[in-house]
């Protein structure tokens, strides 16, 4: 029972770490797609927003930002998450004709949309069961499909594009956009230009690299911060649990340890026995914890605790950290019991009842 409870405590810590690291990687992946919409070098968002897709910026900022040193082109984009023909969490992008994201939209069938029309990404074409000339329903309004596009960006290719003015009318947000996509003059440093823009315009956050997304997306930041606190607590509780389990194991097997010492086992071999048992418990906990972490990550995303478009990314590094956590707990928890075991002399151990 002690072993089972100890393994359960360690597995919770492993599961939390796997879930948090996979979500963090997913946030970076989503941010990388968001900040490069339309092949932009970086993007501007509202500071402190709970979700990057819920950012609100005035469209009137564009003329001021394009005048900043190093900026080549700017484009205001509106992102709208809606249910489209039964598909939830469908992304609709509003683009201004003539700006660089619109010009870089490669239409492989049909034509670019007029007012009241949309083009859909080729990646979502089959799931929508739509073809050119059909209409799709977006927020109780129907729009004719004028073409199919491909950008190579999975984020864009799984959505639909319409004219910015049409989407602003649909969302009842005239003059408002979600992000400002920016391209810089070739040879200019994007990070430096992004930093200068955020200094010039208050309450605007620039995303020049995916790692900055967690600092801006408050819902993801709160979830990850809280999760790390619980992970630390799980590490402490797991370490105490392993220490207690192995200490009791040494206490209950004092005579057996004495016999092993009497027949020639060295202190090093006794310590290795204790440590290997502790690591065995933690490896068992790791196997359970990896499954718990995968389920927890999907639950966090499925129930809208973070951005709708964040998909957990289970990389080899994520699972490596889970392994490191479990092995670390095992090693730390085995230190005291191992020291206690090797200090026992054969005569003293055999005298104990």
Q: Does the pLDDT of residue 338 top 70, yes or no?
A: yes
Alpha-carbon distance of 303 to 298, in angstroms, equals: 9
Q: Does the pLDDT of residue 196 top 70, yes or no?
A: yes
Mean pLDDT over each residue of the chain, to the nearest integer:
81
pLDDT digits (tens, 9 = 90+) for 47-81: 777 677 788 899 999 999 999 999 999 999 998 88
Spatial CA neighbour of 300 closest among 5, 18, 105, 38:
18
pLDDT digits (tens, 9 = 90+) for 93-104: 999 998 998 988
Least confident window among 46-55, 217-226, 325-334: 217-226
In three-state secondary structure terms, 138 is strand
Name the burial class of residue 266, with classes exposed (0-12), middle (13-18) and buried (19+) by CB atoms within 10 angstroms of its CB.
exposed
Residue 263 makes CB contacts below 8 A (sequence gap 6+) with: none
Do the Cβ atoms of 254 and 347 come closer than 8 Å?
no
Alpha-carbon distance of 15 to 10, in angstroms, equals: 9
Q: Does the pLDDT of residue 217 top 60, yes or no?
A: no
DSSP type of residue 212: G
Q: What is the pTM of this model?
A: 0.66
Provide the CA 221 distance to its chain's centre, in angstroms. Answer: 10
Please give the span between the terminal C-alpha atoms of the chain, in angstroms, as a whole number.
23
Alpha-carbon distance of 125 to 144, in angstroms, equals: 14
Categorize the per-residue pLDDT at 268 as very low, low, confident or very high, splitting at 50, 70 and 90: confident
Categorize the per-residue pLDDT at 219 as very low, low, confident or very high, splitting at 50, 70 and 90: low
Alpha-carbon distance of 210 to 308, in angstroms, equals: 17
Do the Cβ atoms of 45 and 179 come closer than 8 Å?
yes
In three-state secondary structure terms, 283 is helix
Identify any residues that bridge with 205 across adjacent strands, giving them in sequence order: 45
Q: What is the pLDDT of residue 286?
A: 85
Tokens of residue 293, six digits: 């972490």
At how many degrees (to 10) do helices 267-302 and 254-262 cross? 130
Q: Which alpha helices (H) appear in the chain, and where do they start and end?
A: 2-35, 62-66, 100-103, 125-128, 154-157, 164-171, 190-200, 213-216, 218-252, 254-262, 267-302, 316-343, 346-351
Identify any residues that bridge with 81 across adjacent strands, giving them in sequence order: 91
């Amino acid at each position: 029972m002690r072993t089972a409870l100890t393994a359960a405590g360690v597995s919770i810590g492993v599961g939390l770490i796997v879930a948090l690291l996979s979500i963090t990687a997913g946030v970076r992946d989503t941010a990388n797609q968001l900040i490069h919409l339309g092949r932009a070098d970086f993007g501007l968002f509202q500071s402190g927003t709970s979700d990057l897709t819920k950012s609100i910026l005035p469209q009137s900022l564009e003329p001021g930002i394009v005048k900043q040193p190093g900026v080549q082109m700017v484009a205001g984009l509106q992102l709208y998450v809606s249910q489209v023909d039964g598909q939830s969490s469908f992304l609709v992008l509003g683009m201004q004709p003539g700006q660089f994201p619109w010009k870089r939209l490669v239409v492989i069938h049909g034509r670019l949309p007029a007012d009241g029309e949309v083009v859909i990404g080729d990646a979502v074409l089959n799931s929508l069961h739509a073809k050119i000339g059909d209409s799709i329903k977006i927020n109780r309004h129907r729009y004719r499909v004028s073409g199919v596009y491909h950008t190579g960006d999975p984020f864009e290719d799984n959505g639909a594009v319409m004219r910015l003015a049409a989407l602003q009318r649909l969302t009842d947000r005239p003059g408002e956009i979600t992000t400002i996509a920016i391209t810089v003059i070739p040879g200019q440093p994007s990070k430096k230009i992004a930093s200068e823009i955020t200094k010039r315009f208050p309450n605007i956050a620039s995303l020049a690299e995916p790692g900055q997304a967690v600092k801006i997306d408050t819902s993801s930041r709160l979830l990850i911060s809280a999760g790390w606190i619980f992970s630390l607590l799980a590490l402490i509780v797991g370490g105490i649990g392993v220490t207690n389990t192995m200490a009791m194991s040494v206490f209950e097997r004092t005579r057996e340890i004495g016999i092993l010492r009497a027949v020639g086992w060295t202190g090093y071999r006794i310590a290795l026995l204790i440590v290997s048992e502790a690591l065995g418990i933690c490896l068992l906990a790791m196997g359970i914890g990896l499954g718990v972490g995968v389920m927890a990550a999907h639950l966090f995303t499925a129930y809208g605790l973070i951005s709708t478009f964040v998909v957990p990314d289970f990389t080899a590094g994520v699972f490596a950290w889970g392994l490191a956590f479990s092995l670390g707990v095992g090693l730390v928890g085995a230190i005291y019991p191992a020291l206690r075991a090797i200090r026992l002399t054969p005569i003293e151990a055999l005298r104990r009842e």
